[in-house]
Structure 1
Amino acid sequence: MSNSHLIILGLLLLFAIAHSGLAALRPKGEKILGPRLYRIGFALVSLPLAVILIIYFFNHRYDGVQLWQLQGVPAVQPIVWILSAISFFFLYPATFNLLEIAAVAKPEVHLYETGIVRICRHPQMVGQVIWCIAHTLWIGSSFTLVTSLGLVLHHLFGVWHGDRRLGARYGEAFEAVKARTSIVPFLAIAQGRQTLEWKEFIRPAYLGVTGFIALLWWAHPLLLRATASVPW
């Protein structure tokens, strides 16, 4: 493995420690700083690390060994775009309260059992796995494979960590939600433990994600050129 492989793993580990660590410290931190100030501190730590990760990934995505090359296969590009679009529908509607994210409204911990959570209790993990499959398929380098494995491992840890924090906060109420939902997409529905309510998907958050996907598709070349100008 080249140095870039080790660097991206180090950056992923740093982000995971910061992100999951601050999430674990949230109850104590909010008592000391208050929910809004703690949310701002969380963002000031997490967002710069995420930006660094994105830039470094874009600039080194073809490093290492080219494991496969499918970019010339006609069907691959639309498959990659479709999978990427689906991944964002799992990644971002998991958090609907944008005002809380920005600390405009008081940040709260919510116990959801609606919308995308009926399909999967941890949609961000599923979205990240789909995104990693799509981009690893398209790029085919050992660097992208290593990055994807690191991201997936972090989100699998997040599944355990998230369930643990919700269980500690909500107790039996969370156990009841856990019994009616599944980590594997659609499993609880197939087993009859959950039902889909399609009207729950008619909300501004999903329209916003659709617009974001369209914007990202248009701006993707610009984003690649912008990150290429950073000498990392």
Structure 2
Amino acid sequence: MAEVTGDLHHSSLVMVLLLLVFAIIHSGGAALRSRAEVRIGARAWRLIFAALSIPSAVVVIGYFLAHRYDGIRLWNLQGVPGMVPAVWIMTAISFLFLYPATYNLLEIPAVLKPQVRLYATGIIRISRHPQAVGQILWCLSHALWIGSSFMLVTCAGLIGHHLFAVWHGDRRQKARFGDAFETLRSETSVVPFAAVLDGRQQLIWEELFRPAQLGITIAVGVFWWAHRYIPAGGMAFLHSRLGELLN
């Protein structure tokens, strides 16, 4: 029988609203980028964008940690043999897609001038939108582990935003790069490995092993170690002023 915990309707609704705010900031900022960079410069816009998107992401993460088991417990597979390594393997793979080595890390804090580029190598050969793939894998692994209705609502919001970003990203790239993007689109796929399987793309394994991937691997290890502090982090958020306001 399903176990009812917390306030299903309130926490799920709040999470939907938080994800909506994050999506508006993130995708809206991406839509405004071209015009904003002309007016105030690429570095200034990146700093403004980061100042808005990072705090909104932190709030979403904090609220998720505090309420991840809210609602109806639809399943509990945590005692199933092999579930722990399966979840961690899926999560590690999801991070390789979520944070691909195509990123220039120094452009994120605007140390180097942020630029928009067309990438056709590395993980892009597997999927043109690796972040969407990574988010779906992350949601699948964590939904299997947590099994709450709140988790499913969160996953629906995250995946929905990333599917919108697939369409929105292609639209922006088409507007910026024109025929060059159409060529890229014809040679790649959104669905992982689809372009490889139908012969439009060929994997070059050397492109997938870059120094940035080592950083991602280290990050996975750090997150694994930090999971022991999730209950404390969730409680800290619940008792913060923001947590009390949202509750």
Q: Does 1:140 align with 2:120?
A: no
- Partner Cα distance (1:195, 1:18) in 2: 36
CA separation in 2, counterparts of 1:95 and 1:101? Answer: 12
1:168 corresponding residue in structure 2: 175
CA contact 2:65–2:233 (8 Å) conserved in 1: no
Aligned counterparts of 1:156 and 1:224: Cα–Cα separation in 2 = 30
Within-5 A mapping of 1:24-173: 24-93=31-100, 95-173=102-180
The unaligned stretches of length 5 or more in structure 2 are 1-7
| Per-residue Cα deviation, 1:68-88 (whole angstroms, up to 9, x for no partner) | 111111221111111001000
Q: Deviations over 1:112-169 (max 9, x none)?
A: 0110000000000000000000000100000000000110000000000000000000
The answer on 1:20 being equivalent to 2:37 is no
2:18 to 11, 20, 23: 11
Deviations 1:80-110 (A, max 9, x none): 1110010000000154200111100000001
CA distance in 2, matches of 1:67, 1:121: 33
What amino acid is the match of 2:29? L
**Which amino acid in the other structure matches residue 55 of structure 1?**
G
Distance 2:76 2:157 in 1: 22
Percent identity (aligned): 57
Q: Give the distance between the partners of 1:41 and 1:107, measured in 2 at CA.
A: 13
Q: Secondary structure at the match of 1:196?
A: coil
- Whole-angstrom CA distance in 2 between matches of 1:57 and 1:39: 26
Count of residues paired in the alignment: 232
Residue 230 in structure 1 maps to residue 200 in structure 2: no
Deviation per CA, 1:183-215: give whole Å up to 9, x if none: 000000000000011111221111111111111
Distance 1:134 1:180 in 2: 30
Whole-Å Cα distance in 2 between the matches of residues 94 and 109 of structure 1? 15
State the Cα distance separating 1:10 from its structure 2 match: 0.3
Shifted more, 197-206 versus 187-196: the winner is: 197-206
Deviates more, 1:89-98 or 1:127-136: 89-98
Runs (4+) off by over 6 Å: none
Give 1:2 shift.
Answer: 1.8
Given residue 210 of structure 2, which amino acid in structure 1 is its aligned partner? R
- 1:222 Cα deviation from its structure 2 partner: 2.1
Whether the 8 Å contact between 1:94 and 1:124 is mirrored in structure 2 is no
Matched-pair contact (CA < 8 Å) for 1:94–1:123: no
CA spacing shift, 1:175–1:118, aligned 2, 3 Å: same
Q: Which amino acid aligns with 1:184?
A: V
* TM-score for the superposition, normalised by structure 1: 0.98
CA RMSD of aligned residues (A): 1.0
Find the counterpart in structure 2 of residue 206 from structure 1.
213
Question: Is contact 1:99-1:105 (8 Å) kept?
Answer: yes
